[in-house]
Structure formats: C-alpha cells, structure tokens
Amino acid sequence: MTTSGTREELSTLTDQFVAAFNRQDLDGVMSFFAETAVYRDAYGKEHKGPAAIRTAFEPVLNGKLGKIHFKGEDRFIDADTGKVMDSWTLRMHMGEGAEKEASMTGLDLLYFAGGKLVTKTTYRRG
C-alpha cells in the first residue's frame, strides 16, 4: 500500500467514514471507497468494486437492522502503510423495548491509499 497521509489525516478519514455509517448514509459511505476497493465482510465473503460493496452495505444502511450506531473502542494507525485498525461496539435498535435491541463487538482493518479506502476487512464477535 502507498502512504495515504499522516496519522491525523487517517484518523479524520476514519471518523468521517464511521459517521457516515452512523447516519446510515449509503452514498456517504460509498464516497470513501476507491474504484478498485475490496470489502471482506465478517463472514469471509469478498465484495469487489463499488457496485458489489454498495449491495453488501444496503441491508445494514437501509434500516433492515433498525437504527445502528458504531461506538469506537480502540484505534491503531500505521501512517507509513495507510492502515487503520478500528475496534467498535455496534448497537442496533429495532424498535421500542429492550428485547428489540442488540449489540456486537468487532473491528475493521482499513487500508487507505490516496485518501480512499482500498480494502476494508471486518471481524466481529456476536
């Protein structure tokens, strides 16, 4: 991977990317991906290119899981390689009542080049 900016720039890009998820803004999320991007989901499936990545994110961002919110837990940034490891807790609110709420923890490995995401790999623990 090529260098994609300073540690602060990578942290800001990551914050903006997560904020787009929390707004459930599919177009906003997609604006971060390079044309050659690859997304590896928590089940091990690879989604190559913006069209496939958009299709993978639609169920998460269109409200199928209810209102979602990612809360950052820990972050490691290697600016020399454009890599960010971002761990999180995801809360999903699917209506009124505690029985309609769920959460899970996980982490994303994000690889940036030229200010764009070229790879996003998700690991989660349900």
- Which CATH number covers residue 60? 3.10.450.50
Query: Mean of the per-residue pLDDT values for the chain?
Result: 92
Going by the DSSP 8-state scheme, the letter that residue 1 receives in this structure is -
Domain extent at residue 85: 7-125
Closest CA relative to residue 77, chosen from 5, 7, 1: 7
What confidence tier does 98 reach under pLDDT thresholds 50, 70, 90? low
Q: Is residue 42 part of a domain?
A: yes
What confidence tier does 126 reach under pLDDT thresholds 50, 70, 90? low
Q: What number of other Cβ atoms are within 10 A of residue 125's Cβ? A: 8
pLDDT tens digits, residue range 32-86?
A: 999 999 999 999 999 999 999 999 999 989 988 789 999 999 999 999 999 999 9
Q: Is residue 1 part of a domain?
A: no
Strand pairing class (33-40; 101-113) = unpaired
Q: Is residue 109 part of a domain?
A: yes
| Strand (E) or helix (H) holding 50 | helix 49-61
- Residue 1 confidence (pLDDT) above 50: no
Residues in the chain: 126
Count of the separate structural domains present in the chain: 1
Q: Is residue 2 part of a domain?
A: no
